[in-house]
Amino acid sequence: MYVYLPLVRPPDVSPRSPSPTRTPGSRFPAVKLKIKRRNFPDPMKLRSKEVVEGIEGMPKRALLKASGYTDAELRRPLVAIASSWNQIVPGHVHLKMLARDVAEGIRNAGGTPVEFNTIAICDGVAMGTKGMHYSLPSREVIADSVELMLEAHRFDAVVGIASCDKIEPGMLMAIARVDIPAIMLTGGPMLPGEWRGKRIDVISAFEAIGALKSGRLKKHEALEIEERCCPTPGSCAGMFTANTMACIIEALGMSLPGVATAPAVSSKKRRLARKTGEQVMELLKRGITPSKIMTRSAFENAVVVDMALGGSTNTVLHLPAIARELGINLTLDTFDRLSKRTPQLCNLRPGGEHMMTDLDEAGGIPALMKRLGKMIKGTPLTVTGRTVASNLKMVKVTENDIIRPPTRPYRRGGGIAVLYGTLAPKGAVLKTAGIPQKSLRFIGKARVFDREEDAVTAIQDRTVKGGDVVVIRYEGPKGGPGMREMLTATALLAGMGMTASVALITDGRFSGGTRGICVGHVSPEAAEGGPIGVVKDGDGILIDVRRGRLDLLVKETELKERLARFKPKKSRVEKGYLKTYAEHASSAAEGAVRR
């Protein structure tokens, strides 16, 4: 287990103030602070004073008073709470409660909290439908909407409260872009379900479809799994994209220690929410902004933690997009280099049987970073006001099988591999944590489909056989458009017991819940004239993870001839946001960002 860090005491607290004391049932020392006016930056340097100060501020103050704010509240720093609360995403339904706790912390520390919302799409609900086209593109809308609110209203600081893939990175992109004192509070994992003595999660329901269709599961058993696999609010219970992103946000130094793994429904999460509200005021006093925290060294720490966790391949899209906002170029080569030297120390669902609750009990991200030792750089600053090294000094790790020592890893290399070759000249990614060791080299014959739905039909009809390589193209950022996740297809294969005998390759992407021989982000994509667009049924394909290769097994002269004749299909959309996204989206190798 590890010990939570006390918040940094402001430098102007009187030495006669009482020493921190522990409250019953809390790992955090209770620190009583006297918040004085001089603790904050000069009023002229507070952005909010542009809105509420002086005679010119009268009409603006009048409007804010119409919203219920008092003169006393408007004299304090205005701190935004950017939340993605809604009533459809299970990872978000509890965020309104956490926002109240954050607001209480902000008020306790002398600020005025002001809450607003942004959008959030549930990948699980949208999966396998037209709706999935909109998931990744929503990241840019989230970033833009949060930026617009923060800049237009001249907030002094911000707490971002979010869960799930796209929302967490989108919010962090905006926070990096605006660069005012900021801290993230991720919503936390849901508790696992249980069925017949086995812990289950939402992926169990996806895979139950294939098991039902192949006769490996009865209908009443599948319905029992449906009822029991998602028992509480929160991000899905394994190391899927939402929880992977939460973990690497903590590793980046942008959330308090312990936040990523604290269960959504726990009182621990609520206490951390209150501490988050208090700590954003400390960042404001000290002028600590995201650009001082999210340095290249911090991003490399995040990648190392990602590899040690065996996290989702979607981080290869999101981390470069966040880094780009800070002028940091985080390439596939960076992931490749760090993956080769980072052992995988955790084995969570979907690749293993451990859940997020297990990781939390084992000490969470601080314990993992402590285990990684010199592989973690200690110099980056964090939202605690301390460096990584200073934070980790207080962490104690006990021997357990949830976070193994580097001398006894699950895999000697990281949980994500980057592949290059004739089929992916600019790269592709594969989650090694989700495949058996014997499948690290696979040769098979191509079964080609130009959209996910056609591949799903073929898998359901049992026309896909062992030894096949299912190729799904025109699903990239431009071709999809929107780079859909292929969880419906991969879950069918898993449910049918074909994860070791059938491979799947796509210029789209995969859910963090995917397992099996699944290569995504193939770049260039088919819509940009990439080699994946000229693959034919029956072509041989080689996937060699150890050598980092993804090759189309045809003669070089023939491949050149095919590419010379190749004319990519036109976009599937002619209006709306997807058309705009398709016109401006970069390659998956560049994070699928808007150019």
Asked whether the beta carbons of 198 and 316 are under 8 A apart, the reply is: no
Q: Dihedral sign, CA of 124, 125, 127, 132?
A: negative
Q: CA-CA distance, 188 to 95, in Å (whole number)?
A: 10
- E strands, 110-209, in order: 112-117, 157-162, 182-186, 193-195, 198-200
Element housing 100 (H / E):
helix 95-108
Nearest to 463 by CA among 493, 443, 490, 487: 493
Asked whether the beta carbons of 566 and 474 are under 8 A apart, the reply is: no
Select which of 511, 523, 586, 587 is catalytic. 511
Q: How many helices (H) and strands (E) does the chain have?
A: 22, 16
Q: CA-CA distance, 473 to 489, in Å (whole number)?
A: 13
Q: CA-CA distance, 393 to 366, in Å (whole number)?
A: 10
Asked whether the beta carbons of 138 and 121 are under 8 A apart, the reply is: yes
Asked whether the beta carbons of 506 and 488 are under 8 A apart, the reply is: no
Q: CA-CA distance, 320 to 308, in Å (whole number)?
A: 18
- How far, CA to CA in Å, does 572 sit from each of 130, 482, 486, 536? 11, 11, 18, 21
Asked whether the beta carbons of 35 and 110 are under 8 A apart, the reply is: yes
Q: What is the largest CA-CA distance in the chain?
A: 81
HEC string for 225-240: HHHHCCCCCCECCCCC
Q: CA-CA distance, 360 to 570, in Å (whole number)?
A: 47
Nearest to 192 by CA among 182, 202, 183: 202
> Distance between terminal CA atoms of the chain?
44
511 a catalytic residue: yes
Token output for 339: 């993956």
Beta strands 549-553 and 78-83 are: unpaired
In which region does residue 94 sit, left (phi positive, over 0), alpha (psi from -120 to 50) or beta (all else)?
A: alpha
Q: CA-CA distance, 521 to 551, in Å (whole number)?
A: 15
Q: CA-CA distance, 535 to 537, in Å (whole number)?
A: 7
Q: Over the Cα atoms of the chain, what is R_g?
A: 24
Asked whether the beta carbons of 72 and 84 are under 8 A apart, the reply is: no
Q: CA-CA distance, 109 to 274, in Å (whole number)?
A: 10
Within 8 A by CB and 6+ apart from 436, the residues are: 499, 500
Write down the residue that tokens 């404001």 correspond to: 284
In which region does residue 428 sit, left (phi positive, over 0), alpha (psi from -120 to 50) or beta (all else)?
A: beta
- Cis upstream peptide for 350 (omega within 30°): yes
Q: CA-CA distance, 577 to 211, in Å (whole number)?
A: 37
Q: List residues with catalytic annotation.
A: 511
